Structure 1
């Protein structure tokens, strides 16, 4: 397997579970029925932001990405993602599902993507904080994350970036937990629905992102379980130790996206 192929596979695996579909660009911005963010929706997101800003946390996400194939038929890609975070500079992501298994390790100095199926990995130097490291992973490994807002320095502000309207639709039970059902609208034609626990912790239990202006209105669905803000993971959990027989993929110029569009 070539370096380019590994990066393609890794990018697909992580993109399904962790990164958003390409942002829709509206020729004419979508105007929501009710402009502005309601007080109860804003308060719920602010509380959720405090929970997501915990120094340490872990959770499991079951995700579905729905998109159109080349023939215009909707396809569903299922994955399970296990995440462990220690702010400001530790992160691990374990992915398994329809696109195989892929693991991401970030230890504050480097980031590695490992494919157990192919027994291959790639490693890059990374900045000393999670948001900057995720940006570097996107630039150097062509891997993007739809949940990167959860791990930003201000999760509530990142989630509401470019939002022009939002409110509480009602309440609903998710896995036996009473949640506020919130909806938000971005200028770019993206709708974000969140089911946020109706408590002081305000943990997110479900998320749906719908791209109204893309063909077929594809969406990304995630359900979150196992939230834990008392993880106390050792440094060794975030440091990648490749198997003795694993092949390291050396990243050459062709594996790094050209920010100038190839010019």
Structure 2
């Protein structure tokens, strides 16, 4: 297989390379969308945070047929420089550990792992990993120094569509136009915490207009994880491999 290329649980689709216009001075946001993002920023900026996510995405196989792949994630964050993401899905299990100095990617199924230096905190570490794998991961915006600004980085306009009920909780339904033909829909609780409940990203300019969908549960800002939780200790029978760009699902994996 491509070394750790199966870490597609953290991927959506290859990053689009369409010509992008210059960033606006400030995106055109409605008052209600701006207020919701300001509240969301406080929630996502908590020094300690954990949540779960169920994700799905669409990809095209060799014949151009759109297919779906599903994953479940458990995320644990301790700002500014600790992160653990456990992923299980249709293509197996993969874990990411960040201890403030290095990022370790581990596939329990395949017994392979990769380690790379990544000082500088969570946002810089994730950016380095995603650049190395050449993949896009919309949830990376949740871990920015200012999550609301990370979410708005390529947004040109946004507004509140209305409200919707998710698992018995009233949520604000927000819509954002991003550059390069990308659209983002975000549902946050209509409370003073604005906890995210659902995210959909649609890539209009990519073949098949693939989508990334995430449903969030189990938000907790009172976790107190120790350093050992974020430290990766490779099993004795695991093999270290070089980190390579991810192989999209549906393509043959090299053994």
What's the TM-score once normalised by structure 1's chain length? 0.86
Describe the shift of the 1:210–1:26 C-alpha distance in structure 2 as closer, same or farther (beyond 3 A). farther
Q: Counting helix residues as a fraction of each chain, which structure ranks higher? A: 1
Q: Is the 8 A contact 2:200 2:211 kept in 1?
A: yes
Per the alignment, residue 249 of structure 2 pairs with none
Query: Greater CA deviation, 198-207 or 119-128?
Result: 119-128
> CA–CA distance in 1 between the matches of 2:179 and 2:135?
24
SS in 1 for 2:138: coil
Per the alignment, residue 25 of structure 1 pairs with 18
> CA–CA distance in 2 between the matches of 1:207 and 1:151?
15
Per the alignment, residue 221 of structure 1 pairs with 213
SS in 1 for 2:123: helix
Of 71, 91, 94 in structure 1, the residue corresponding to residue 86 of structure 2 is 94
Which aligned segments of 4 or more residues in structure 1 are displaced greater than 3 angstroms?
Answer: 26-29, 139-144
- 1:29-77 deviation per Cα after TM superposition (whole angstroms, max 9, x unaligned): 9xxxxx9210000110111011100000000000000122232211000
- 1:212-237 deviation per Cα after TM superposition (whole angstroms, max 9, x unaligned): 12222110000000000001011110
Aligned: 1:149 with 2:141: yes
Deviation at 1:28, TM superposition (A): 9.4
Query: Greater CA deviation, 105-114 or 211-220?
Result: 211-220
Unpaired segments ≥5 residues, structure 2: 247-255
> CA–CA distance in 1 between the matches of 2:38 and 2:231?
32
> CA–CA distance in 2 between the matches of 1:168 and 1:82?
28
Q: Whose relative contact order is higher, 1 or 2, with alpha carbons under 8 Å and at least 6 apart?
A: 2
> CA–CA distance in 1 between the matches of 2:154 and 2:3?
34
Unpaired segments ≥5 residues, structure 1: 30-34, 258-263
Of 237, 249, 254 in structure 2, the residue corresponding to residue 245 of structure 1 is 237
What does residue range 25-104 of structure 1 map to in structure 2 within 5 Å? 25=18, 36-104=28-96
